[in-house]
Amino acid sequence: MKASPTLTNNMQAVLADLIELHIQGKQAHWNIVGTNFRDLHLQLDEIVEAARQFADDLAERMRALHALPDGRSSTVAESTSLAQFPEGLINTRDAIERIVAALEAAVGTMRKVHDEVDEEDPTTADLLHEFIARLEQYAWMVNAETLKASASVTTPDAE
């Protein structure tokens, strides 16, 4: 099977977000400070490793379908749906908000392209299912750092 231009573009969009998620996770990992530093520092390593592995799996899937993955920094910067991560030190609460937003943006891209991907190649859609499940789990786990026991399921209490 050879990927159509639509499938190639959809996979490339996901790839760019996964590469950016990996980079933002490391940026946060290196520069977080504050309460629960160590726990978040270690969680970020897990997220970075998953994003890196998912990007590699997807890029290899692209090649199996005769598509060309583009992981160059300029391509990723121009095409990612993730908001830019700030430079410098970042406190843990702000890092949590930014990383959860990045996870949700990456998942949003996957959900946006899912149906077109599934229509052409259910095997690639299966990869997206795996990525979505894991990244949504990470978003929940990281976000739990900011919740209080009295928070609603959908909206955390503000501190």
**154 falls in which pLDDT band (50, 70, 90)?**
low
Could you state, in order of their start, the residue ranges of all structural domains in the chain? 5-146
Bridge partner list, 45: none
Q: Are 84 and 24 in contact (CB under 8 A)?
A: no
**Amino acid letter, residue 49:** E
Angle at the Cα of 55 from the Cα atoms of 116 and 7, rounded to 5 degrees = 20
The answer on pLDDT for 152 being more than 80 is no
What average pLDDT score do residues 44-73 get? Answer: 98
Q: Give the pLDDT confidence score for residue 150 in this predicted structure.
A: 76
Of 48, 137, 40, whose CA–CA distance to 95 is shortest?
40
Q: What is 5-146's CATH topology?
A: Ferritin (1.20.1260)
Q: Is the dihedral of CA 60, 42, 92, 27 positive or negative?
A: negative
Tens-digit pLDDT profile for residues 90-149:
999 999 999 999 999 999 999 999 999 999 999 999 999 999 999 999 999 999 988 778
Q: Give the pLDDT confidence score for residue 156 in this predicted structure.
A: 59
Q: Give the pLDDT confidence score for residue 145 in this predicted structure.
A: 87
The answer on pLDDT for 82 being more than 60 is yes
Query: What average pLDDT is seen over the chain?
Result: 95
The answer on pLDDT for 158 being more than 60 is no
Q: Which of 13-17, 59-63, 155-159 has the lowest mean pLDDT?
A: 155-159
